[in-house]
Homo-oligomer: A and B are copies of this chain.
Amino acid sequence: MTAHDLTKNQEMVLGALSAADGPLSAYTILDRLRDRGFRAPLQVYRALDKLLDYGLVHRLESINSFVACAHPHCHAHGSLAFAICEKCGQVEEFSDATVQSRLADWSREHGFKPSKTAIEIRGTCAACLAV
């Protein structure tokens, strides 16, 4: 797997996501990059599109936000799962081979050709439950 050659905007967007301690919306990214020259949503969305392609960033469908991949070096792709804490906003990224194979089974049995799978558990994380 060769490293991708990121453009300036892609670097900045990925940097903003990596520096954050949780998922960010596109408009939040935009705000954080305004003093670095960003002016319009499209600059963010275009960079995100590429970063999503490269697998360096994930989109959290259920909260319209984006996170840097937790394992940017091992591109062990397939369908990832996310646990999203509704209290603190923290996200845990994980994958489960059994879940993946069960969903793949269903798809095969039903002649469905999957392109992108979202598995998102919203709830309360251990840290927030402890409070």
Chain A residues at the B interface, C-beta cutoff of 8 Å: 61-62, 81, 83, 85-86, 92, 94, 96, 98-99, 102-103, 106-107, 110-126, 129
Contact = CB atoms under 8 A, between A and B. Distances in A.
Nearest to A126: B111
Contacts of A123: 107, 112-116
18 contacts: A61-B62, A62-B118, A83-B106, A83-B112, A83-B114, A86-B115, A92-B110, A96-B102, A96-B106, A98-B98, A112-B121, A112-B124, A113-B129, A114-B121, A116-B122, A116-B123, A117-B121, A118-B119
Q: Which of A96, A114, A121 has the most CB of B within 10 A?
A: A121
Contacts of A61: 61-62, 118, 120
Contacts of A102: 96, 98-99, 102
Nearest to A125: B112
A125 B111 contact: yes
B115 A118 contact: no
Contacts of A125: 110-112
